[in-house]
């Protein structure tokens, strides 16, 4: 039986600088500011907008059993002194970013004085994970072998997989949108738009089934792992 207990803390980041130069008075008027806005937003490049530090305890509990049948009756007996238990503390870091490198006019909708910026799809990276070996707790009965390095590696992989599966429940996607808005709204105001006329959104509300497309596959499985 495997149980996973998840404790998480998170800190929102709005890293990277999108250079915001003051525009001329002409731009503040009714001129078309879209090309300049696109250029300024593209300067944001890859904007890291959220970071979560996760502490997870991976537990494993197995019991040696004797199974069989006797006189047409099945039996399943837990053997005494046949237990093994382990609790593995694991720390991991998740980061979310939005890549504005291909931001274009298709990401902007303008209607009168109102403007809507449709953000590129966010990406989430598991940037690091490590086992806290000093605080690993285990019990191994004298009749059982100790946990092998291969088993420990498999438990760590299970822990990373569980963290990735938990992403939709962490709120990191919405946090990425909110922090991107904190960068882009002042930029739009510099170009003459009123804050109440500015909308920052994603192209859709992402669901659990969308998660595979939001993972940065260049790092999944290749993150900075420390054992």
The tokens describing 155, both together, are: 């438990």
pLDDT at 198: 92
Q: How many residues does the chain have?
A: 227
d(CA 145, CA 77): 20
In the Cβ-directed half-sphere of 126, how many Cα atoms lie within 13 Å?
Answer: 23
pLDDT tens string for the chain (227 positions)?
A: 444 433 333 333 443 445 444 444 443 443 467 888 888 888 888 888 888 898 888 887 766 555 556 556 664 555 556 678 888 898 999 999 999 988 888 999 988 888 999 999 898 888 888 888 889 888 877 777 787 888 888 888 888 888 888 887 888 888 888 899 988 999 888 888 899 999 998 988 887 777 778 888 665 444 444 55
pLDDT at 46: 84
- For residue 13, which phi and psi values (nearest 5 degrees)? -125, 145
Cα torsion through 109, 110, 115, 118, rounded to 10: 10
pLDDT at 116: 92
d(CA 217, CA 72): 53
pLDDT at 153: 84
d(CA 167, CA 170): 5
DSSP 21: P
Distances (CA, A) of 97 to 17, 47, 147, 181: 13, 5, 38, 13
pLDDT at 204: 86
pLDDT at 70: 55
- Where in 100-182 does DSSP place strands (E)? 108-111, 114-119, 123-131, 137-140
- Its pTM stands at 0.66
Please, what sign has the CA dihedral across residues 19, 119, 163, 156?
negative
Biggest CA-to-CA distance, the chain: 96
């Amino acid at each position: 039986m495997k149980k996973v207990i998840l404790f998480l803390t998170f800190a929102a980041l709005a890293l990277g600088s999108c250079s915001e130069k003051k525009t001329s008075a002409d731009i503040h008027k009714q001129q078309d500011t879209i090309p300049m806005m696109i250029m300024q937003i593209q300067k944001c490049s890859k904007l890291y907008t959220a970071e979560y530090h996760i502490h997870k305890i991976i537990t494993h509990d197995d019991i040696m059993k004797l199974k069989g049948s006797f006189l047409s009756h099945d039996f399943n007996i837990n053997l005494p002194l046949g237990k093994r238990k382990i609790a593995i503390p694991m720390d991991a870091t998740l980061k979310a970013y939005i890549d504005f490198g291909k931001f274009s006019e298709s990401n902007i909708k303008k209607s009168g004085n109102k403007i809507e910026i449709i953000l590129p799809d966010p990406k989430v990276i598991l940037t690091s994970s490590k086992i806290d070996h000093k605080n690993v707790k285990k019990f191994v009965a004298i009749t059982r072998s100790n946990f092998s390095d291969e088993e420990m590696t498999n438990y760590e992989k299970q822990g990373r997989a569980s963290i990735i599966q938990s992403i939709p429940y962490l709120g990191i996607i919405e946090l990425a949108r909110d922090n991107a808005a904190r960068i882009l709204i002042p930029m739009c105001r510099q170009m003459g738009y009123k804050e109440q006329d500015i909308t920052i959104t994603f192209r859709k509300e992402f669901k659990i089934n969308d998660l595979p497309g939001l993972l940065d596959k260049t790092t999944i499985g290749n993150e900075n792992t420390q054992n």
